[in-house]
Each structure stands twice: as structure tokens, then as C-alpha cells.
Amino acid sequence: MRKEPINQISPKGLKVWRLYGVMQSAIVLLLMIVAGVLSWWLEGPWWIVIILILFQLLYTYLFVYLFPKLRWLRWRYEVREQEIELQHGIFIVKRTLVPMVRVQHVDTQQGPILRKYDLASITISTAATNHTIPALITGEADELRSRISTLARVAEDDV
């Protein structure tokens, strides 16, 4: 078995994902209410409402509780001298290797919600792919970004 990358992302990232989940399920709730009202108005059978409620509960459970938790537990990253290794995925575990030599540039981004929690995400671009580490403390992210960019400049082709 390969060793897991050592660094986890910020616990605040979990909070942000939960928040995203709450927003999504609020939208779903709206749709469900519309559907429920329609069903009542058109005198549809009562069990439709039950299904709608169950669906809403399940959706909220998955997207507010379970998925963010699994996702957060899974997310690992490690920036080594010669390569970057990422691990993520809720159901399917994906482990990505990006050699420093291939890194072309590194960006950090920060949306309004991330900013509120003092978080930022890092995107590492190669000539053909993009890899994002989702939620790091802003200071950490900036530091990591400059570290990757120095390492990428130093890295030499071994072939």
C-alpha cells in the first residue's frame, strides 16, 4: 500500500462544504415545496408528499452531513521537493501525482464565502491539466503557492 499524503485540509473547509450543502438543500427544499403544493392543488395521492419529505431529508443528510464529512476525511495533499501528491474522492479514491517539472503556474482563489472563513483554494496548472486543493487557511495557501512556484522553478528534467 502506498502511504497517504500527510497534510489534511483545514477543518474550516468542512464547515464551508456544510454551508454549501445547506444552500443546495435549501434550493431543493423550495422545489419540494412547489411540488408538494402542486400535488395538493391537483389532488394528487398523499404518498407523493411523503416521498417528497423523505427525499428532502435524505438529500439534506447526504449533502450537509455525510458527503462533506467523507470528502474532508479523504482529502489529503503533500507537496514534496519533486512532486505534488493529492488524494480525494468521496466514493472512488483518486490519487494524483504531479511532478514539479510539469507545473506551469499556481494560483490561489478566494470567493466571498471562503474569504469569510479566511480560506483560499490553490490551483496547480500543468500544460494540460488543472488540480485544485480546495480549502486552506489563506496564509498557508499563499505560503504553499510561493513554495510550489519556487520548487517548480528549481525542478530539473531528469530525462
Partner 1 sequence: MSKERYQLHPIAAVVNFIKGLKDLIFPFIIIFVANGFQGGSASPGHWTSYIPYIIGTVILAFVLISGIIKWKRFVYWFNEDELCIEYGLFVKKKRYIPFERIQSLNYTEGLLHRPFKLVKITIETAGSGASTEAEAELIAITRDAAKQIETEIASAQKRKSLKTSDIAAIDEHTVEEQIKSIPIFRMTMKDLLILATTSGGIGVVLSGLVVFLTQFSELIPYEQIYDEVVVFLKFGFFLVVITIFAFVLVGWIISVILTTLNYYQFTIVQEEDQIVLTRGLLEKKKVTIPISRVQGIRIIESPFRQMFGYCTVIVESAGGSMEDQDKKIRLFPLIKKKKIKEPLNKLFSDFDFEPKWTTAPKNAKPFYYRLDFLWVIPVMVGVSYFYYPYGLLSMLLIPIILLLGLWQHGAAGLALTRNQLSIRYRGINKYTFFIEKKRMQSLEMKQSPFQKRKALASIETTIKSGILGATVKVEHLKEEDIEAVMTWYEPIKITTEKGHPE
Asked whether the beta carbons of 7 and 77 are under 8 A apart, the reply is yes
Q: How far apart are CA 67 and CA 90, in angstroms?
A: 7
Site string for partner 1, 102-131 (x = CB under 8 A): x-----------------------xxxx-x
Q: Determine the distance from the C-alpha atom of residue 44 to the mean position of all C-alpha atoms in its chain, rounded to a whole number.
A: 39
Asked whether the beta carbons of 127 and 98 are under 8 A apart, the reply is no
Largest CA distance in the chain: 72
Q: Binding residues for partner 1, how many (CB under 8 A)?
A: 28
1, 42, 46, 112: which one binds partner 1 (CB under 8 A):
1
Site string for partner 1, 29-68 (x = CB under 8 A): ----------------------------------------
Cβ closer to partner 1: 42 or 127?
Answer: 127
Q: What values do phi and psi take at 140, rounded to 5? A: -60, -45
User: Shortest approach of partner 1 to residue 86 CB, angstroms?
Assistant: 9
User: Shortest approach of partner 1 to residue 23 CB, angstroms?
Assistant: 28
Residue 153 is a binding residue for partner 1 (CB under 8 A): no
Residue 76 is a binding residue for partner 1 (CB under 8 A): no
User: 3-state class of 155 per DSSP?
Assistant: coil
E strand or H helix that includes residue 158: none
Residue 93 is a binding residue for partner 1 (CB under 8 A): yes
As given in the structure block, the three cell numbers for residue 131 are 488540480
Query: Which chain residues interact with partner 1 by CB under 8 A?
Result: 1-2, 81-83, 89, 91-102, 126-129, 131, 155-159
